[in-house]
Amino acid sequence: MAQPAAAVRITISWEVTVLSVSAGELEASPCQKCGEPLNFHQPDEDDPSHLLGTCGQCGTWHMIEVTPRGTKSLLYTLPDAELLRAKHQEIQKKARGGRPAPRDPQGNGSRGAGEQVA
Ligand SMILES: [Zn+2]
């Protein structure tokens, strides 16, 4: 079996907006970046509580999660790819400069004596 690609952990912040839902209909929601109305998509046809809102104007993606009772929904602005790429590169750079092993059995965050400076 193929090994999955190594995952790295990056820290990002999400902007969350609460939307109200009336009569089971999600209210029209503007793009959190440019204010254009979003296009809603339902990627999983069996799961109408998880939607994707895309902006035709600026291309920002939003994730929408409808609460189980269907009375409101949360809209998360997905971080843009540029930001993710930059963060990922930053982390890979650090990883190359530091310990070669991804896991440290010695435990969390302790600064090893053999730490290198890139
Ligand atoms: Zn937009």
CA of 17 to the centre of ligand 1 (A): 15
User: What mean pLDDT do residues 8-34 have?
Assistant: 81
CA of 80 to the centre of ligand 1 (A): 11
More confident residue, 109 or 54: 54
Q: Is the pTM of this model over 0.75?
A: no
CA of 31 to the centre of ligand 1 (A): 5
List residues, by chain if needed, whose CB lies under 5 Å from ion ligand 1. Answer: 31, 33-34, 36, 55, 57-58, 60
Q: Residue 35's pLDDT band (boundaries 50, 70, 90)?
A: very high
For the chain, how are helix, strand and coil distributed in percent, rounded to 5?
Answer: 15, 25, 60
Q: What CA–CA distance (Å, rounded) separates 65 from 101?
A: 37
CA of 55 to the centre of ligand 1 (A): 5
**Predicted pLDDT of residue 67:** 83
Q: Residue 27's pLDDT band (boundaries 50, 70, 90)?
A: confident
